[in-house]
């Protein structure tokens, strides 16, 4: 495609590298330039509107523009536009935000460590797990277990923790200490006649086998998202976390709950850990922490982790970790205001009210000829595309059904997330019931378009 010289599209192609993008194809196809946002909708530079059904990258919980948050950022920049948390320095917004997070933590937590992104939060939690075991005189506990298809970020350590091979290829990753247990995708991976509880028993047994094979005294921590986001919005099968936590307790392995996507009401409770009765040693959070309006993340640590950090600081004279922008006063002030907004609108009650609407409106499409399964929790949901849903017969990967759905959805003014042949939905938390209905209608039209194309090609009966 040829673009007008000096257009935004041409300038983009000539200057930018785009993440998670086919770079060669981008040189030919160029970008979709988003000019502005309003509520749950975004508008491209031609003025066309799209409903954003996955909150950008799971994060724009309050929509895509906010005069109130802009005013808070402006006032904080005028008062103190930057300072750091190094060497005993502090600032009021960071202190207040830390207090707020400790007050709403899913289980009792002792302190908050700030960073700038979810990747950095998980990277920090990895370091703290190693720091903890060094403090306890068990430095051989270096291995970290996560799950196949789990996603925890893109720093070298966080992407090694992630169980997505496409993000390892060509980078010489993952690093050796990172191990991956089974992908708990019940619909795709259960055996004939196997109930969800039985499947969970098998998943927990696989985790225990991995621990015993690697050596329990070499395992530092286990990381898990309450609902697996980039893996396809995979909700845990019944009894999964109950059984997994029993294994971790048996071998005294730290549990880190990656709440980067699930935190702040996405699953219908303030934390996914509350939805699934997870009792983590550390919680990582980002994204909806600031409603994506500022780059900030936080690791919440419990008392035993904090005690180990104090002991190490005594030993070495310093907690030698940190980021230049950690606890940035502008980011912290915006995130603090976001938390006030959540309280004012009762974000948990809103998610409890609208979650069933999302599940029902998209759940009705389970009967569509190319849909195999639909399931979710609160305001997050995954939809599996299948040639024969009941028999779990997938489409030939060469058909690129997921990519076709992505293109068809855009044509109908709908932005969603596509993971292989799975569609993912996590709209802004301020969405209304009528907009959820509109998502469903636009999606159905896109499904119909793709189904008709597949029938013409003889790929669908």
Say if residues 318 and 296 touch (Cβ distance below 8 Å). no
Say if residues 268 and 378 touch (Cβ distance below 8 Å). yes
Q: Is the pLDDT of residue 5 over 90?
A: no
The fold of 32-65+348-456 is 3.90.1150
Mean predicted confidence (pLDDT) in 170-188: 97
For 51, phi then psi, to 5°, come to -80, 125
Closest CA to 142 of 254, 283, 303: 254
Say if residues 238 and 189 touch (Cβ distance below 8 Å). no
Residues in a beta bridge with 223: 256
Q: Is the pLDDT of residue 455 over 90?
A: yes
| Average of per-residue pLDDT values in the chain | 97
pLDDT of amino acid 4: 84
Q: Residue 450: CB partners within 8 Å, gap ≥ 6?
A: 370, 401, 404, 405, 408
Beta-sheet pairing, 417-419 with 422-425: antiparallel
CA distance 414 to 395: 23
Residues in a beta bridge with 41: 38, 51
Q: How sure is the predictor about 83, in pLDDT bands with cuts at 50, 70 and 90?
A: very high
- DSSP symbols for 245-312: HHHHHHTT-EEEEE-TTTTTTTTSSSSHHHHTT---SEEEE-GGGTTTSS--EEEEE-HHHHHHHHHH
Helix (H) or strand (E) holding 3: none
Torsion angle of the four alpha carbons 82, 88, 93, 99, in this order, in degrees rounded to the nearest 10 = 160
Closest CA to 53 of 400, 442, 404, 356: 442
Of 3-7, 245-249, 278-282, minimum mean pLDDT range: 3-7
Residue 161, burial from CB neighbour count under 10 angstroms (0-12, 13-18, 19+) = buried
Q: Is the pLDDT of residue 210 over 80?
A: yes
CA distance 124 to 403: 34
Q: Is the pLDDT of residue 2 over 90?
A: no
Give 268-315 pLDDT, tens digit per residue. 999 999 999 999 999 999 999 999 999 999 999 999 999 999 999 999
CA distance 297 to 119: 9
Q: Residue 209: CB partners within 8 Å, gap ≥ 6?
A: none
**CATH 3.40.640.10 assigned to 68-345:** yes
Say if residues 445 and 253 touch (Cβ distance below 8 Å). no
Buried b (16+ CB within 10 A) or exposed e, 438-461: bbbebbbebbebbbeebeeeebbe
Buried b (16+ CB within 10 A) or exposed e, 206-231: ebbebbeeeeeeebbbbbbbbbbbbb
Q: How many CA atoms lie within 13 A of 178 on its CB side?
A: 24
Helix (H) or strand (E) holding 123: helix 118-135
Cis peptide before 174 (omega within 30 of 0): yes
The pTM score is 0.97
**Residue 148 DSSP one-character state:** B
Q: Is the pLDDT of residue 62 over 90?
A: yes
Give 365-394 pLDDT, tens digit per residue. 999 999 999 999 999 999 999 999 999 999
pLDDT of amino acid 192: 96
- C-alpha distances (whole Å) from 227 to each of 151, 224, 234, 237, 373 are 11, 8, 6, 10, 16
CA distance 82 to 330: 7
pLDDT of amino acid 461: 85
Q: Is the pLDDT of residue 3 over 90?
A: no
The two domains 32-65+348-456 and 68-345 share their CATH topology (first three levels equal): no
Domain residue spans of the chain: 32-65+348-456, 68-345
Give 110-169 pLDDT, tens digit per residue. 999 999 999 999 999 999 999 999 999 999 999 999 999 999 999 999 999 999 999 999
**Residue 225 DSSP one-character state:** -
CA distance 199 to 53: 30
Q: Is the pLDDT of residue 441 over 90?
A: yes
Please report the sign of the dihedral spanned by the C-alpha atoms of residue 43, residue 264, residue 282, residue 165.
negative
Mean predicted confidence (pLDDT) in 46-57: 97
Closest CA to 165 of 151, 155, 176: 151
pLDDT of amino acid 66: 98
């Amino acid at each position: 495609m040829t673009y007008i010289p000096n257009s935004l599209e041409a300038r983009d192609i000539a200057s930018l590298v785009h993440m998670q993008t086919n770079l060669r194809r981008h040189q030919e196809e160029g970008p979709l330039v988003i000019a502005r946002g309003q509520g749950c909708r975004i508008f491209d530079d031609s003025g066309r509107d799209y409903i954003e059904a996955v909150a950008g990258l799971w994060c724009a919980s309050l929509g895509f523009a906010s005069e109130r948050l802009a005013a808070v950022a402006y006032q904080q920049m005028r008062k103190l536009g930057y300072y750091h948390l190094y060497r005993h320095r502090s600032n009021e917004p960071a202190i207040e935000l830390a207090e707020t997070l400790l007050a709403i933590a899913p289980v009792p937590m002792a302190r908050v460590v700030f960073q700038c992104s979810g990747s950095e939060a998980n990277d920090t939690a990895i370091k703290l797990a190693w720091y903890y075991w060094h403090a306890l005189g068990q430095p051989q506990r270096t291995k970290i277990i996560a799950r196949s298809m789990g996603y925890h970020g893109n720093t070298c350590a966080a992407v090694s923790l992630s169980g997505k091979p496409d993000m390892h290829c060509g980078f010489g990753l993952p690093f050796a200490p990172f191990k991956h247990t089974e992908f708990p995708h019940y619909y795709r991976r259960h055996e004939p006649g196997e109930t969800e509880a039985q499947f969970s028993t098998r998943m927990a047994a696989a985790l225990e086998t991995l621990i015993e094979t690697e050596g329990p005294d070499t395992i530092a921590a286990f990381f898990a998202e309450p609902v697996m986001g980039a893996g396809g919005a995979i909700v845990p099968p019944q009894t999964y976390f109950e059984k997994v936590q029993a294994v971790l307790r048996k071998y005294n392995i730290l549990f880190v709950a990656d709440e980067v996507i699930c935190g702040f009401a996405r699953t219908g409770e303030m934390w996914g850990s509350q939805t699934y009765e997870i009792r983590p040693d550390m919680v990582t959070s980002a994204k909806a922490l600031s409603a994506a309006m500022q780059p900030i993340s936080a690791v919440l640590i419990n008392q035993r982790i904090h005690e180990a950090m104090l002991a190490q600081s005594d030993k070495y004279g310093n907690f030698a970790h940190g980021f230049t922008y950690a606890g940035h006063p502008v980011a912290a002030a915006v995130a603090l205001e976001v938390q006030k907004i959540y309280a004012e609108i009762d974000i948990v009650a809103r998610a409890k009210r609208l979650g069933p609407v999302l599940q029902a409106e998209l759940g009705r499409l389970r009967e569509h000829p190319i849909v195999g399964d639909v399931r979710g929790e609160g305001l997050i949901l995954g939809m599996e595309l299948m040639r024969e849903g009941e028999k779990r017969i997938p489409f030939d990967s060469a058909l690129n059904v997921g990519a076709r759905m992505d293109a068809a959805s855009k044509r109908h003014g709908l932005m969603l997330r596509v993971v292989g042949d799975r569609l993912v939905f996590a709209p802004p938390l301020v969405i209304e019931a009528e907009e959820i209905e509109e998502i469903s209608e636009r999606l159905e039209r896109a499904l119909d378009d793709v189904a008709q194309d597949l029938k013409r090609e003889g790929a669908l009966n």
